Copies of this chain bind each other. A is one copy, B any other.
Amino acid sequence: MNEQEKAEVNLSTEEKFKEAARIVFTKKGYAATKTRDIAEQAGLNLALLNYYFRSKEKLFEIIMIEKVQQLFAFISPALNDTNTSLEEKIDWVAVNYIEMLTKNPDLPIFVLSEIRTNPERFAKIIQLNTFVLKSHFVKQLAERKPGINPVQLFLNFLGMLIFPFIAKPVFHSTSAMSDDMFNQLLEDRKTLVPKWMKLMLE
């Protein structure tokens, strides 16, 4: 038994539930997830879930806060770095965001569809103004292209990074593209997206 296996076995009961909840909630969404699914995934007794987290709803909120952070706050420090140029931000975010999303391909559609289903719940979690829409990155966009709403360019940037992951299930369900082809496409995007963004800035 290696160190990682030991670590997994030695996870606290609470942490085992959270890890199981991450997997099941992300895959099925809140409404379609049964507490029994989570207990089974965790290999633990169902009654313990309520002992540790009081309710399905409370456990979901814990996971959801994590996931929203992961999706939005991941790029926030880079976007707000006052010491980097617009081009440097674009290059860094494209590569690192695509890598993070490749490891968590269901993350965007999970978070965005749960927000749509229950928007009120998320007003408190997301501080979009601070993190993103008033970021240094958006200020730099506004300076570079004064005639255009910087949100337009920001949407293009995020869209070009995130949309392939949103559309992925369509390719999959139709067998229109193999996993290898899709991964190659994403790998190419790490350099292509910055190239296209810079075209839009000229």
Residue ranges of A at the interface with B (Cβ–Cβ < 8 Å): 28-32, 106, 109, 112-113, 115-117, 119-123, 126-129, 133, 148-149, 151-152, 155-156, 158-160, 162-164, 166-167, 169-177, 185, 188-189, 192, 196, 199-200
Contact = CB atoms under 8 A, between A and B. Distances in A.
A119 B28 contact: no
A120 B173 contact: yes
A113 B32 CA distance: 12
B149 A185 contact: yes
13 contacts: A29-B31, A109-B113, A112-B166, A115-B169, A119-B173, A123-B174, A128-B171, A128-B174, A128-B176, A133-B176, A152-B185, A152-B189, A155-B160
A177 B159 CA distance: 18
Given A116-B169, A174-B126, A155 B149 contact: no
B112 A167 contact: yes
How many monomers of this chain does the complex have? 2
A116 B112 contact: no
A156 B196 contact: yes
A116 B126 contact: no
B155 A164 contact: yes
Contacts of A177: 151
Contact of A173 (B32, B123, B152, B175): B123
Contacts of A175: 123
Contact of A159 (B128, B133, B164): B164
Contacts of A32: 30-31, 117
Contacts of A133: 176
Given A29-B31, A175-B123, A115 B170 contact: yes
Contact of A163 (B29, B30, B120, B162): B162
Given A106-B116, A116-B106, A160 B156 contact: yes
